[in-house]
Amino acid sequence: MQLVDYEALTPVQRQQLLDIEVTTAQHAFSGDITTALYNLVGMPGEAVRGFALLVADVPQAFLLVKRGVFLAAWAHAKAATLNALQVDHRCQGQGLGRACLAALPGAVKAVWPEVECLQLSVDEDNVAGIGLYRRMGWVDDGEAYQGRFGRERRMTLRMPVQEA
Q: Which residues contact 156 (CB under 8 A, 6 or more apart)?
A: 76, 79, 117, 118, 119, 138, 139, 141
pLDDT at residue 152, rounded to an integer: 83
pLDDT at residue 149, rounded to an integer: 65
All structural domains of the chain with their residue ranges: 2-158
The CATH code that applies to domain 2-158 is 3.40.630.30
In angstroms, the CA 69 to CA 47 distance is 7
Residue spans of the chain under pLDDT 50: none
pLDDT at residue 163, rounded to an integer: 56
In angstroms, the CA 152 to CA 6 distance is 28
pLDDT at residue 146, rounded to an integer: 67
User: Which amino acid belongs to residue 65?
Assistant: V
pLDDT at residue 162, rounded to an integer: 60
In angstroms, the CA 65 to CA 57 distance is 21
pLDDT at residue 31, rounded to an integer: 82
Enter the pTM of the model.
0.90
pLDDT at residue 28, rounded to an integer: 74
pLDDT at residue 144, rounded to an integer: 67
pLDDT at residue 25, rounded to an integer: 79
In angstroms, the CA 108 to CA 31 distance is 21
pLDDT at residue 148, rounded to an integer: 65
Q: Are 139 and 156 in contact (CB under 8 A)?
A: yes
Burial of 23 (0-12, 13-18, 19+ CB in 10 A): exposed
